[in-house]
């Protein structure tokens, strides 16, 4: 597991998402109730970037066909997505947000 700095905490307000490319990974970083969470950024249904979606109550809604995922667990909550998202460990340290890939 490799910790990589991908943002500073002040880049995201609560309820916002940021898409970040890390090597071959497309990662979505979310801020919810002061905590940071990271998942794959590409929807498991088709190719849409979840960082362009709508974040509410800890769930991200895909901007294309409105599947919803829990950003804390990656769980797919409704159709048309049936496959969960991969999640990544996140920590805030030394003024940076780090994701383990
Ligand atoms: S691409 Fe996300 S629900 Fe279809």
CATH code assigned at 81: 2.102.10.10
**How would DSSP label each residue in the chain?**
--EEEEE-GGG--TT-EEEEEETTEEEEEEEETTEEEEEESB-SSSS-BGGGSEEETTEEE-TTT--EEETTT--B-STT--SPPPEE-EEEETTEEEEE-
Count how many domains the chain has.
1
For ligand 1, whether the C-beta of 46 sits within 6 Å is yes
87 vs 22, higher pLDDT: 87
What is the pLDDT confidence band of residue 9, given thresholds at 50, 70 and 90?
very high
Say whether pLDDT at 1 is over 90: no
- CA of 63 from ligand 1 middle (Å) equals 7
**Which atom belonging to ligand 1 lies closest to the Cα atom of 46?**
1
pTM over 0.85: yes
As a whole number, mean pLDDT of residues 16-26 equals 94
Q: Which domain holds residue 26?
A: 3-100
Percent of the chain whose pLDDT exceeds 70: 100
Mutation test residue for ligand 1: of 28, 39, 42, 43, the one with most atoms within 8 Å of CB: 43
Say whether pLDDT at 65 is over 90: yes
Say whether pLDDT at 56 is over 90: yes
């Amino acid at each position: 597991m490799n910790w990589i700095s991908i943002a500073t905490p002040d880049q995201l307000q609560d309820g916002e998402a940021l898409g970040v490319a890390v090597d071959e990974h497309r990662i979505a970083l979310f801020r919810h109730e002061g905590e940071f969470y990271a998942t794959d950024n590409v929807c498991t249904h088709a190719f849409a970037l979840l960082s362009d979606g709508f974040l509410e109550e800890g769930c991200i809604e895909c901007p294309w066909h409105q599947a919803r995922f829990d950003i804390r667990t990656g769980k797919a909550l409704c159709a048309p997505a049936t496959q969960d998202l991969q999640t990544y460990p996140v920590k805030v340290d030394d003024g940076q947000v780090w994701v383990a890939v």
